[in-house]
Amino acid sequence: MDIRVLIVEDDANITKVLGATLAIGGYQYECCDDGAEAVGRIVSGRYDIVLLDVMLPGKDGFQILDEIREAGDRTPVIFLTALGEVADKVKGLRGGAEDYVVKPFETVELLARMEVVLRRVGKTERELRYDDITVNTEQHTVTKGGEPVTLTPKEYAVLLFFMRNLNIAITREQLLANIWGYNFAGESRSVDIHVQQVRRKLGLKGKLITIPKLGYRLEQ
Amino acid sequence: MKLWQKLALTSLFFVVLAVQLTQFYMLERNFESGLRREKEQALSVHESISASLVNRVVYERLRRGKFFLDEEEIDAVLQSASQGDGLDTPVTVLKDGEVLCSADSARFSAALAAFPGLLQQTAAPGTGISAVCSGADWRAVLLVSPLELNVGSYRLVTLHDVTHIYEELDRGLADASWTGLLIGAGISAALVVLLFVLLHPLRVSVNTIREISGGNYALAPKPQGSDEFKTLQKSINDMAGSIREREDRLREIADSRKRFADAMAHEMKTPLTSILGFADLLRIKRVVTDEERRDFASMIVDEAKRLRGLSAKLLQLASTDNSQLDLADVSVETLFLEVQSAMLPALVRRGLHLETAQRGAVIRVDRELFLSLLYNLVDNAAKASPDGGTIWLVQGEVDGHTVLSVIDRGIGMKPDTVRRATEAFYMEDKARSRKAGGAGLGLSLCDDICRRHGARLEIRSEYKKGTTVLIHMDVAKPEAAPPAPAARNAQRGQKRAAPRDAGKHRKAEGRRRA
């Protein structure tokens, strides 16, 4: 399933960063640096998700969101904001945005947020494949070469996270944040143990590699 | 109890009191004069009866041809005269302290009871009793006088009826109570209405104050009513106005702080986002092509430079706000020369010319800060000018004030841009400004420096024609506002900071020991 993303951002370099990030996440994307133009393009319904900068010249992100929601468009929107204040966050979510990402952000964080939003609106793959491994995200089942593999919920989540972020180095902190929750105060030891279990159970030696001083990467 | 109710009740009380007192006084006066008249009349009646009795005795004497009548004969004459109908008023005649005859015995005995000395009084000529005596349903003026008959001691007693005068007084008093109450009530009703109307402005004022305490300052009713109320309402309106003004000013300050903070967050986080994003991509991507590496790295460098420029400007802005001005008289010529020598290399590289003209004015400024103002303005002019253009740095005079101007024939600004030019982080064309190394703080900084020097920054610009920035010197008092203590300590020499620091150390030591 091809996911089309619209990036609404006026800073050229950030647009480039976002573009490169979306490219490694396997998304198709278009860019727009003008608020008024963005409204028309979003309402046309060509996009599955919108990354919307809050501070734009002419029309700010909040106005754009109001306008597209008034026009009856339900395209999920993730705000990109430099405003870290809680009031602004609430304003964004109340206005009908699906989520917000505070600048500056890490690549994996943005991809994970987009993944969550897309899953919520039912725009993710039901089946993920890697080699002979198939993950059914609806039934939460994993098969390798047609044979079912038994995984604990955490192991399943770790596997899914790697499969969704192929060829991207994932740090232990990112795994902790995305799978154990942001407030999890556990040690990164348990991350290592889970990754080892996934590697062993699914025979991913040499594919799910350890990158010194950084984390892990599932390579294809 | 409300004021108008109090006023109405108090007025009612005093009005009724006044009406009643006046009525009583008038009734009393009437009564007094009526009684006096009656007494005079009683006296004249008494005298005429007395004379007529004496005449009868004389007439009897003449009729009988006697020189003297004896006492029995006189008694008989007097008895017949008093019983007869020849007299208007019933009389009583006393002889030697005894009642000789009485046509009015009932009232006479009542009078006798009131004045027991009546009978014992000697009938010396000229003496008489005059008094008011009363019975159950009557009042009368009692008059006693001796009869001049040469023989025996006869006295005449008359009781002149004055009951009607007393009745009149009683009636008058009863009426007065009622009419007094009625008149009082009428006047009070009128007063209540009048007070209600007169006190209306007070209620309006109270309402205004209530609205003000509720946060609504817009309500400003027209002052009305009597002068006191007008003054009151006007003062309230003035108060509301000044509160609103102050609130607006505070809100404006808060708003502009928020805008500044938002803009600064945006300006700081935008390059940071690129830097973090590209660095992260370099870190996590499995395959990075040479082209990508160069591309990402150069963007990281660009954005880091942008952050460097921004932080330098922010520091400058912060120190401009906080540092104490080191004012000294400096000649404009020196300033212009310094600008020239400092800026020329950069200008020459772009083939720009810098022309100066001045009239030898001397201005009182903080030399370093003022130079940075001029650098900024010349730098702006250079950025706006096409290669090979000319920038003018001119000193003139307007209305006795020294005016410095920086003039270029560059791209100019649109009116909207001119209006917002000194706003922090405002950039007309962000992409172009950033390429030129701008952070949107230059003119904001210049405006601050001018304000602190008591000067005014004026921007005149015409789109595509060029810009003139004027610095009007000495239009206000230089700002000598004390900066934040922390900044002052950091900026000033150790001389001032030392004693304070010593104190702090002592305190810190004390705390440690404790």
pLDDT of residue B471: 92
The whole-angstrom separation of Cα B208 and Cα B210 is 5
Which value does ipTM take for this structure? Answer: 0.80
- A106 in the same domain as A157: no
pLDDT of residue B495: 36
B 280-309 → A contacts, CB under 8 A: 280-281, 283-287, 292, 296, 299, 302-303
pLDDT of residue B331: 92
Q: Give the pLDDT band (50/70/90) at residue B428.
A: low
- A33 in the same domain as A16: yes
Read off the tokens for B149: 């008959």
Q: Residue B260 pLDDT > 80, yes or no?
A: no
Is the Cβ pair B283, A55 closer than 8 Å? no
- A144 in the same domain as A79: no
Domain that holds residue A149: 127-218
Q: Residue B143 pLDDT > 70, yes or no?
A: yes
B266 touches A at CB < 8 Å: yes
Last residue of a domain, one of A120, A149, A172: A120
Give the least confident one: A35-49, B47-61, B99-113: B99-113
- Mean pLDDT on A188-195: 85
* Residue B226: DSSP 8-state: S
pLDDT of residue B485: 38
Q: CB under 8 Å, gap of 24 or more: what pairs does B181-187 form?
A: B181/B16, B183/B15, B183/B19, B184/B12, B184/B15, B184/B16, B184/B19, B185/B12, B187/B11, B187/B12, B187/B15
The pLDDT tens digits of the residues spanning B344-371 come to 888 888 889 999 998 888 999 888 888 8
User: How many residues does this entry show for chain B?
Assistant: 514
pLDDT above 90 coverage of chain A, percent: 18
Q: Residue B443 pLDDT > 70, yes or no?
A: yes
Last residue of a domain, one of A74, A102, A120: A120
Q: Are A218 and A166 in contact (CB under 8 A)?
A: yes
CATH architecture of the domain covering B3-171: 2-Layer Sandwich (3.30)
Within 10 angstroms of residue B35's Cβ, the number of other Cβ atoms is 17
Specify the CATH number for the domain of residue A176.
1.10.10.10
The whole-angstrom separation of Cα A72 and Cα A61 is 17
A21 touches B at CB < 8 Å: yes
- A111 in the same domain as A8: yes
Q: Chain B contacts of A84, Cβ < 8 Å?
A: 265
The pLDDT tens digits of the residues spanning B281-338 come to 898 888 889 998 999 999 899 889 888 888 887 787 777 777 777 888 999 999 999 8
The domain tally of chain A equals 2
Write the secondary structure of B145-176 as one string of H (helix), E (strand) and C (coil). EEECCCCCCEEEEEEEECHHHHHHHHHHHHHH
Q: Residue A166 pLDDT > 90, yes or no?
A: no
Specify the CATH number for the domain of residue A39.
3.40.50.2300
Q: Give the pLDDT band (50/70/90) at residue B487.
A: very low
The more confidently predicted of residues B116 and B353 is B353
- A35 in the same domain as A84: yes
- Mean pLDDT on B246-274: 82
Mean pLDDT of chain B: 80
Q: Chain A contacts of B275, Cβ < 8 Å?
A: 104
pLDDT of residue B275: 92
The more confidently predicted of residues A101 and B122 is A101
The more confidently predicted of residues B29 and B192 is B29
The pLDDT tens digits of the residues spanning B202-239 come to 888 888 888 888 888 877 788 887 888 888 888 888 88
Give the least confident one: A117-126, B293-302, B472-481: B472-481
- Mean pLDDT on B471-498: 51
A104 touches B at CB < 8 Å: yes
Give the least confident one: A48-62, B51-65, B484-498: B484-498
Amino acid identity, position B437: G
Phi-psi region of A145 (alpha: psi -120 to 50; beta: other; left: phi over 0): left
Interface A–B counts its CB contacts (< 8 A) at 85
Searching chain A, which residue's CA lies closest to the CA of residue B259?
Answer: A83
Domain ranges of chain B: 3-171, 325-482
User: Given 3.50.50.60, 3.20.20.140, 3.40.605.10, 3.30.565.10, which CATH number is that of B325-482?
Assistant: 3.30.565.10
- A148 in the same domain as A105: no
The pLDDT tens digits of the residues spanning A141-156 come to 899 888 899 999 889 9
- Mean pLDDT on B431-446: 69
Nearest to A219 among B265, B276, B286 (CB): B286
Searching chain A, which residue's CA lies closest to the CA of residue B430?
Answer: A11
Q: What's the order of all strands across the beta sheet hosting A147-149?
A: A127-130, A133-136, A141-144, A147-149
- Mean pLDDT on B73-80: 82
pLDDT of residue B303: 87
Mutation pick from A33, A103, A207 vs chain B, by most beta carbons of B within 10 Å, is: A103
Q: Residue B503 pLDDT > 50, yes or no?
A: no
The more confidently predicted of residues B391 and B419 is B391
pLDDT of residue B54: 85
Mutation pick from A107, A110, A162, A209 vs chain B, by most beta carbons of B within 10 Å, is: A107
pLDDT of residue A8: 92
- A116 in the same domain as A145: no
pLDDT of residue B139: 85
Q: Residue B407 pLDDT > 90, yes or no?
A: yes
Q: Give the pLDDT band (50/70/90) at residue B484.
A: very low
